[in-house]
Amino acid sequence: MILNSSGTTIPGAPHRPEYLKALVYLPPAFVGHNPQLHSSILKLVQLFIESIAVKTTNDWTSRARSQLKWSLRQAGNPQPNAEVTGIPAPDPNSAQYTFLGQRSREPSEGTYSASITLLFFSNNAYSLVDVSNEAFENLRDSARDLENTNTVLLGELCEAHATIKRLEAQLEMSSGPSTRTPARCTNPVLGSISHPPVRYTQASPALSSTPSKP
């Protein structure tokens, strides 16, 4: 999963998560086959917007004013994002999703939440971001769920390859040697995997042990 924030906003929009968005690259097939992970994906994207997108927007605005001498005082009528209830539809014929940021959940009054400093890489620069312990644990749990699901999918992929090899062997035994192109499967993790057809050499007829009649 790849997450990106441009750092730009609608003129006049405050730098808060509910006014920002993130571009996320996900395989649509993975999203469709794993509905149990939708909640984890939404949490990861929201944490990214709260921790990275807000800081990226602040940094972009500050540098545009100091280095490019832009005033950035255009008037606008920004509205907070609509409420998100699920994974949005991807852009047509692509694996890009546009996630809308949501209002941050503020801790209840009188509670104390310790923070953890994380190192992130964004816009060709490293930055330190403080996140709460709770947010960090949610992020780690979501990453663990995605990793476990990926392991299961790789196991299913290996079983499918083994089945393909058995079927090819059976086909070769029933139809004889073939010059057809071997089955090939491309996987983003395992790479290109080729299963060449199994070839069998036809044995010579056995000699009869019964003497022939003169």
Question: Could you report the per-residue pLDDT of 12-42, keeping only the tens digit for each?
Answer: 888 899 999 999 999 999 999 999 999 999 9
Q: Cα(176)–Cα(46) distance, rounded to whole angstroms?
A: 57
Question: Is the pLDDT higher at 125 or at 151?
Answer: 151
CA angle 145, 148, 152 (to 5 degrees): 135
Residue 214 has pLDDT above 50, yes or no: no
Asked if the structure places residue 187 within a domain, the reply is no
Reduced 3-state DSSP string for 114-174: CEEEEEEEECCEEEEEEEEHHHHHHHHHHHHHHHHHHHHHHHHHHHHHHHHHHHHHHHHHH
Q: Cα(139)–Cα(43) distance, rounded to whole angstroms?
A: 8
Q: Cα(20)–Cα(80) distance, rounded to whole angstroms?
A: 8
Instruction: Give, in order, the Cα–Cα distances in Å from 114 to each of 123, 136, 180.
Output: 27, 10, 63
Average pLDDT over residues 130-140: 64
Range of the domain at 84: 2-105+113-152
Q: What is the phi/psi pair of residue 158, to 5°?
A: -65, -40
Domains: count for the chain: 1
Asked if the structure places residue 93 within a domain, the reply is yes
Instruction: Give, in order, the Cα–Cα distances in Å from 128 to each of 52, 79, 117, 121, 139.
Output: 10, 29, 6, 9, 16
Asked if the structure places residue 196 within a domain, the reply is no
Asked if the structure places residue 119 within a domain, the reply is yes
DSSP 8-state symbol, 53: I
Asked if the structure places residue 166 within a domain, the reply is no
Name the band, by pLDDT with cuts 50, 70 and 90, for residue 62: confident
Answer yes or no: pTM beyond 0.75. Answer: no
Asked if the structure places residue 28 within a domain, the reply is yes
Question: Could you report the per-residue pLDDT of 158-206, keeping only the tens digit for each?
Answer: 888 889 988 988 888 887 655 555 555 555 545 555 545 545 444 444 4
Average pLDDT, the chain: 76
Asked if the structure places residue 199 within a domain, the reply is no
Residue 110's pLDDT is 37
Secondary element (H or E) of residue 99: strand 96-100
Residue 139 φ/ψ region, left for φ over 0, alpha for ψ in the -120 to 50 degree band, beta for the rest: alpha
Name the band, by pLDDT with cuts 50, 70 and 90, for residue 113: very low
Asked if the structure places residue 193 within a domain, the reply is no
Question: Could you report the per-residue pLDDT of 35-51, keeping only the tens digit for each?
Answer: 999 999 999 999 999 98
